Amino acid sequence: MITNKTKQIIQIALSEDKVSRDKTTNLVMPAKEKGKAAIIAKQKGILCGAEVVRFIFKKIDKEARIKFFAKDADSVGKNQRVAVISGNLQTILKAERVALNFLSLLSGVATATRLLINKVKKTKVVIKDTRKTTPGLRELEKYAVSIGGGKNHRCNLAEGIIVKDNHLKAAAIVSKKNEVNHKRLESAMKNLRKKTKFPIEIEVENFKEFLEVARHHPDIIMLDNFSKNNLIKAVNHRNQYFPKIEIEASGGISLENIERVASTGVDSISIGSITHSPNALDFSLEID
């Protein structure tokens, strides 16, 4: 998972923390002192970011040795030792915060994803992420979603077609009164089919809009903030008249209500919170 983009992100983080100019460590620790430290999970969750942590320590000290006792996607328990770092103690202390920041964030995203998936494991629904990611960290956060068992939606605007409500309004396909201009929508669909091979996804905000958009056979219809009853109505209508259309639910979905949403028969659920506001998983580094 250490891509060129990831290397750049790590370098920015190390530069931000000015690890080479750590006044405390440089003045307190003998320069050649060797030792060991353990990374300990302070709460249970899903591990993610092992190779990032390894890369950070090796980036500062090529001689450092890192042994993980768990791998990405493994469950870790409270107070479990997940890794031991051996080498120069100055290196270990300087890299500590940057390494733990990445490990905590990515494990938090993976854990949040896994919790949601466990809630709907009796269904066939797919959990997807969104582009609501931390600026600059999208690649890593989407990797963490996949480690948690989720599916990555498009990673950027060039990787897929999603016609959102603002596209529909800006292109005068949907009026201020939520009326669909079928000629404009048909023209847009023809243009999309002609110029791209991506599946075409269209977002709708109410059941009436759903009925009208379904007539144009997009590949996916995203139902934004639909009630449970309207989700059921949309799924039933799709099943009867447009069985090839995938239905995606989105908006206001949480750990508390995801089971109700999944029970309606939608094919997928996209959730921004798993990347824009996950709870970081707590880790500590302790010198042995």
Which are the catalytic amino acids?
Answer: 132
Cβ partners under 8 Å of residue 286, min gap 6? 37, 38, 40
d(CA 165, CA 210): 12
Cβ partners under 8 Å of residue 166, min gap 6? none
CB 139 within 8 A of CB 3: yes
- Nearest CA-CA partner of 278 in 42, 113, 129: 113
Tell me the sheet residues that pair with 65: 86
Fill in the amino acid letter for 188. A
- Nearest CA-CA partner of 72 in 107, 98, 42, 20: 107
d(CA 171, CA 113): 35
User: Residues 209, 269, 142, 16: what is their CA dihedral angle, to the nearest 10 degrees?
Assistant: 80
Calculate the alpha carbon distances from 246 to 38, 125, 171, 268, 269 in Å: 47, 11, 24, 8, 11
